[in-house]
Chains A and B, each alone.
Chain A
């Protein structure tokens, strides 16, 4: 079975600083994908970044980067130069690859608050 653990219920950061949101996962699969989603107060789930288990380089998307440490089974999200609009819930998720059905397993989320 797959499991995602996000141990930080809440995080605080000042505007323009960098912040790391932790995510560890457990799986026996060799081929899997890791995702981060943002959920602002308006409620929608917004895809941020994806990392495949066989990708050798850490994924980056603008101010978002994924610090992927396969041996430690961690996939932390790094947000550089935080903005007030980054205040939201952040969810880490994973799924098997190369299977017909794509079930996403989510963590419980981390609430990020960016202060001026």
Chain B
């Protein structure tokens, strides 16, 4: 059982380049999330999805786009990378109902550096 996987694990971009981060989950979860983690700031929600074909903005959505064409995949895109987007990106998923299944399961993270 792979859980939540993210590709790539590391990436270095130049300012203005674009890239897509892929998140995949094999737990048949309805909800998926993208977070960024910066030093001293904890995790902040970028975008989320409550089901296939749906997306919504989180706390810090500017400069990012997302798509959820398939239930198991959630893509995060950077159209024109900026140094301020240097961060560690985490994907998470959960069922979306019930007390114990409120738990979000996280992927291993993608460390992105924008020069």
A-side interface residues toward B, CB under 8 Å?
4, 33, 35, 37, 42-47, 50, 52, 91, 93, 95, 97, 100-104, 106-109
Give the interface residue-count category, chain B. Answer: 20 to 34
B-side interface residues toward A, CB under 8 Å?
31, 33, 40-45, 48, 50, 56, 58, 88, 90, 92, 94, 96, 99-100, 102-109, 111
Distance of B98 from chain A, by nearest CB (Å): 10
Contacts A100-B50, A102-B31 given; indicate if A47 touches B103 (C-beta within 8 A).
Answer: yes
Q: Are A45 and B106 neighbours in the complex by a CB distance under 8 Å?
A: yes
Cβ-Cβ contact count across A and B, 8 Å cutoff: 61
Q: Are A43 and B104 neighbours in the complex by a CB distance under 8 Å?
A: no
Chain A residues lying within 8 Å of B50, measured Cβ to Cβ, are 100-101
Distance of B51 from chain A, by nearest CB (Å): 10
**Bound CA span A73–B32, Å:** 28
Q: Are B96 and A102 neighbours in the complex by a CB distance under 8 Å?
A: yes
